[in-house]
Structure 1
Amino acid sequence: MGRIGFSCLFPASWHFSLSPQALPRLLIPSLRQLLFISLVLCLIGLFYMLLIAMKTHTSWTGEENPFHRHLARVTDLDETDTSNPNLNYGLVVDCGSSGSRVFVYCWPRHNGNPRELLDIRQMRDQNRKPVVMKIKPGIAELAKTPEKASDYIDPLLSFAAKHVPKHKHQETPLYILCTAGMRILPESQQEAILEDLRTDIPVHFNFLFSDSHVEVISGKQEGVYAWIGINYVLGRFNHEHKDGEAVVEVHVPGSDQQEALMRKRTAGVLDMGGVSTQIAYEVPNTVSFASPQQEEVAKNLLAEFNLGCDAHVTDHVYRVYVSTFLGFGGNAARQRYEESLIRNTAARNKLLGEHVGETVESPLLDPCLPSDLQDEIGPPTQRLHLRGTGDFDECRQILQPFLNRTNDTQTSLSGIYQPAIDYSNSQFYGFSEFYYCMEDVLRMGGDYNASKYAQAAKGYCATQWKTLKERFDSGLYASHADFHRLKYQCFKSAWTYEVLHTGFSFPTTYKNLKTALLVYDKEVQWTLGAILYRTRFLPLRDIPQESLKGAHSHWRHNFSFVNNHYLFLVCFFIVLLSIILYLLRLRRIHRRVAQRYTPSSVPWLEEGLGSPSLPVDL
């Protein structure tokens, strides 16, 4: 047999030649090389499996995939960047009693995790101002001319259309939601206004708008939306919690799972306006009822809903209690109180033959007005003259009957059902009058302390009216505090105190109430909660179906994972093992062949391997 030359493959200094018997020794790797090759291939396989596991683990457990993290949040800059193709938009028109406002919201593409919500923010213009517009009066003023409803709302939608990129209009959902002003109209008048909007808006605007996108919402819905909005801004729907963060044990409504979930504690909401007072908070545990009648009432006050995009995933299932009390707002309560004074004083004067309150010289003493304040109430035929005595504690006692409390268990104002609150592990935010009453004059907004608040209110009530006016003229109170606030601060201080501690039964030692105007320096509207809830299914278009299937069933997820990935890994190692065994077999064959030849019978073998320039391992 001849020799094989390799001079064309190596430099001149490496010139050598091999016989056919020497060639297998060069081609067959050593054991060390085999182990190295095997290790590299194993690492490649494990790296592939790690990538797959990270992706699958994200969709299964709800943990954020770091590769999608850049799609999960809206930055401050993105809120103004209408050229960003990843931004989506949504519109909510709040048709209130005094006027209507349109809010423009934006959010990036969903990150593909079915356990995460959309990152919705209020859109801002180039000057960093929220994109919002308000018109007056309220839409309920069109009760007799419902055909003008679409013309009434046209300026709001035209304003929004200028801020949303035109090519995005057809995929931008529009919701027109009417509140208290429309609720008091007869149903026929409500429907006439709504029908005009349903008919004309699609003709003039290309937004994503259907008949169900315009409606009169209930007070319960409005309260739930407000609760959602506040907790969303507070980050309470992100269930990843750090050590030391407040958590709560939740028994998910309608879930078959026996074990309770541990997730971030949500915040309750207290809101007192001029006319009504509202309370909303999560009820984490299954509730019991004292009677079938109470259970029937509770059904109208408890809202159970899923904020997530997948009905099978219970991470964002909540049970929230919401109750609105008409006539229990600060101004409405004062009006009821004054009507009671007029009625009771007239009856007493008639019975005793007295003339108390009929003249300035014989005023009726009112402990709920600042000391020595002179006031007149009632129509001309029933005019009643008052003079304040500024007694905070007496005022509180007088106001307690106006709460309409009963002796029934688990009830609050007017005997309305109220599920138990775990005061030891809860948090509440107080808005509107709860904040104004504590901040405008008393300058105590923020963390609430009942004893300090009562002491400050008592001091204000007892201060002479002349002194209070001097302080007001000197600018010692909040800039938006007006003369009306000054007059009725004593009454409202006592009223909010009683509503909180007697009506809602908050302990006077409760330390976890924060009164606020803004949350994280942002005014939180119920419209934010509305669009978050109504767009909750939009992430479905960005979530792979495999992720949703995996979220539905742990067993199906495991089965899919084994078939798609573990099976691949098994096949990979079988092939790798076959290659190694084949190479080892070649090595053994080579050794047997080499043993058949002695150095004397194959001198050309020594000659072929004799080159010191290219050592060969055995």
Structure 2
Amino acid sequence: MFLVIDSRVKRFLSKNGLVILGFTFILSLIALLAVGLTQNKNTPENFKFGIVFDAGSSHTTMYIYKWSAEKVNDTGLVYEIESCKVKGPGISAFASNLQDIPMYLSKCMGRAKELIPKYKHHQTPVYLGATAGMRLLRMENEESAERILNSVTSFLSSYPFNFRGARIISGSEEGAYGWITINYLLGKLQKKQNSKDPSSRRNESLETYGALDLGGASTQITFVPKDTNIKPPIKFMQFRLYGNNYSVYTYSFLCYGKDQALLKKLAMDIMNAPSGILLDPCFHPGYERTVDVSYLFNNTCTREYNGQFPFHELKINGTGEFQQCQEDLLDLFHTTNCRYTSCTFNGIFMPPVQGEFGAFSAYYYTMNFLNLTSDKVSSEEMVIDKMKKFCARPWKEVNTTYAGVKQKYLSEYCFAGTYVLTLLQAYNFTDYWKHIHFMDKINDNTEAGWTLGYMLNLTNMIPAELPQPKPFSRPTYISLMVAFSLVLAVVFILGSIIFHKSSYFQKKAI
């Protein structure tokens, strides 16, 4: 009798013990899974945005950039997500109608508001960099240039973004930031040097590309010189990007952009047109253009050629002779006077060019139109032959063939193509067609130019944000996982023991 009662009690206790252990097992399992999932859940990507306006001499373009807030060696991984070309001329043209600047910039700023998440607006820096057009205006009328920048500042500050300023960047900055852009996009900056040779570490950036930028009012050349120990008369620009140091030569030639170079050429050639008619080899046969003489010389770049002329208009008649055009353009570059061991034109110090170069902006647009960026164009001789044939084509035929191209641009491609070749010659490039690569968009989506380099360099000054912290520290996380795992193991062992004992008592009772 007592044996039966005792077995019933033990079975009762066993069943309740199993229930308690079961609940404990389930709760521990839930806790273990909850801790693991919470600690290892995917955190939302933390991105930053930046806006840069390129206020050039002939137009303005807005670029929107995006990068992860977590940096690599103190430099953000920046890439372009949108570009917006502002309709109208460069901002230097608004000196007498400042009231039109808000309308001028508002469409692109509206696009930025749409594209960038609203909660990121106040964190997004906005910069406007004005280049050679505004540099020329500042030389002619500093007050007008300042009023334009103040008007731009007032308008851009009204948006919910973090406006960081509108300023005229120097030619050296423009060249150096263009160099950063193409080398970043080509993957030249992220590669760390592993060599243990100290001399190799000093020359760690020899494999970078040089940069050639051609705008409407200025042109820039930038590269890392082969001999980094030379003592130049000008300071090299210093950069630290992705853990590497770079010493870069850069120089900007104001008034040697494509548009200003044409005005300089015409102002120089007017001496050869006593009757007011200029036979110009840089335009197609049959092409005619009339230029107001006052307009020609109302410019800082052409003022040195000004004089008294018995006519008010210059009539240009094209003759389409490439060779003669190039000879005329060579007169723009003075290459005989050099006080240093190495010079480019106009007596400006420049180390010997070396390595591969990326040529963008008007370099690319010009040569691409002329179909001279193809791999099939393999030599300088082939380029010259194509240029001779293109310039010699009658204007009527060219105008018909390229009916969709604006006449002003179309009429100047013979001059522009010849000018590109002449400029490269003035830079002392030899056998250059093997070493110069004409670039527009690199990696199919990001435009070559100075703005990305500007944004990339500025990320060195934007504080990095730490990734979103985990709910538990690593020691706490490990301790919790071990503790709950031990609880599960103990519960499982106790449950097994109780279950087996319960089965034993049931058999004894029978």
TM-score range, shorter chain: 0.5 to 0.7
Find the counterpart in structure 2 of residue 221 from structure 1: 173
Distance 1:401 1:341 in 2: 10
CA contact (8 A) 1:118 1:539 kept: no
Find the counterpart in structure 2 of residue 164 from structure 1: 116
TM-score, with length taken from structure 2: 0.67
- Kindly report which structure 2 residues correspond to 1:551-590, keeping only aligned pairs within 5 A, or say none: none
Find the counterpart in structure 1 of residue 76 from structure 2: 118
Distance 1:490 1:133 in 2: 26
Residue 307 of structure 1 deviates from its aligned partner by 3.0
Distance 1:85 1:93 in 2: 26
Alignment partner for residue 421 of structure 2, among 475, 479, 497? 497
- CA deviation digits over 1:164-186, x for unaligned, max 9? 22222333222233333433234
Q: Is it true that 1:511 corresponds to 2:434 in the alignment? A: yes
Find the counterpart in structure 2 of residue 470 from structure 1: 397
- CA deviation digits over 1:479-499, x for unaligned, max 9? 865544554444333322221
| Paired residue secondary structure (1:532) | helix
- Kindly report which structure 2 residues correspond to 1:173-322, keeping only aligned pairs within 5 A, or say none: 173-183=125-135, 184-185=137-138, 186-192=141-147, 194=149, 204-210=158-164, 213-239=165-191, 260-263=202-205, 265-283=207-225, 285-289=227-231, 295=233, 298-299=234-235, 302-308=236-242, 315-322=243-250
Structure 2 residue identity aligned to 1:473:
T
| Paired residue secondary structure (1:438) | helix
CA RMSD of aligned residues (A): 3.8
Structure 2 residue identity aligned to 1:167:
Y
Distance 2:119 2:221 in 1: 41
Distance 2:89 2:397 in 1: 36
- Kindly report which structure 2 residues correspond to 1:366-445, keeping only aligned pairs within 5 A, or say none: 366-370=280-284, 372-373=285-286, 375-379=288-292, 381=311, 388-408=318-338, 409-422=341-354, 426-445=355-374
Question: Size of the alignment, in residue pairs?
Answer: 402
CA contact (8 A) 1:237 1:264 kept: no
Change (3 A) 1:514 1:148: closer
Distance 1:365 1:194 in 2: 41
Structure 2 residue identity aligned to 1:517:
D
- CA deviation digits over 1:325-361, x for unaligned, max 9? 2332333333322233322342xxxxxxxxxx66xxx
Distance 2:365 2:100 in 1: 37
| Paired residue secondary structure (1:286) | coil
Residue 87 of structure 1 deviates from its aligned partner by 1.8
Find the counterpart in structure 2 of residue 533 from structure 1: 457
CA contact (8 A) 1:275 1:331 kept: yes
Distance 2:198 2:333 in 1: 32
Residue 453 of structure 1 deviates from its aligned partner by 0.6
Change (3 A) 1:91 1:516: closer
Structure 2 residue identity aligned to 1:391:
E
Distance 1:216 1:515 in 2: 27
Q: Which runs of 5+ in 2 are unaligned?
A: 1-41, 294-310, 469-510
CA contact (8 A) 2:214 2:257 kept: yes
Residue 504 of structure 1 deviates from its aligned partner by 0.1
Change (3 A) 1:373 1:154: closer
- CA deviation digits over 1:275-323, x for unaligned, max 9? 332212223542535xxxx71xx23xx3212235xxxxxx332222222
Seq. identity, %: 28
| Paired residue secondary structure (1:132) | strand
Distance 1:222 1:328 in 2: 14
| Paired residue secondary structure (1:323) | strand
Structure 2 residue identity aligned to 1:239:
K
| Paired residue secondary structure (1:542) | coil
Alignment partner for residue 253 of structure 2, among 320, 325, 329? 325
Alignment partner for residue 453 of structure 1, among 383, 388, 407? 383
Distance 1:389 1:444 in 2: 26
- Kindly report which structure 2 residues correspond to 1:330-349, keeping only aligned pairs within 5 A, or say none: 330-346=258-274
Distance 1:394 1:429 in 2: 28
* More contact order relative to length (CA 8 Å, sep ≥ 6): 2
Residue 136 of structure 1 deviates from its aligned partner by 4.1
Change (3 A) 1:134 1:385: closer
Q: Is it true that 1:134 corresponds to 2:92 in the alignment? A: no
Residue 534 of structure 1 deviates from its aligned partner by 0.8
Residue 536 of structure 1 deviates from its aligned partner by 1.5
Distance 1:449 1:334 in 2: 26
Distance 1:239 1:267 in 2: 14
Distance 1:178 1:94 in 2: 6
Distance 1:373 1:193 in 2: 41
Find the counterpart in structure 2 of residue 47 from structure 1: none
CA contact (8 A) 2:132 2:217 kept: no
Q: Which runs of 5+ in 1 are unaligned?
A: 1-69, 72-83, 124-129, 252-257, 309-314, 347-356, 545-618
CA contact (8 A) 1:250 1:263 kept: no
Distance 2:400 2:389 in 1: 19
TM-score, with length taken from structure 1: 0.56
- CA deviation digits over 1:214-259, x for unaligned, max 9? 43222221222222112211111121589xxxx9x997xxxxxx95
Distance 2:467 2:364 in 1: 42
Residue 97 of structure 1 deviates from its aligned partner by 4.1
Change (3 A) 1:148 1:303: same
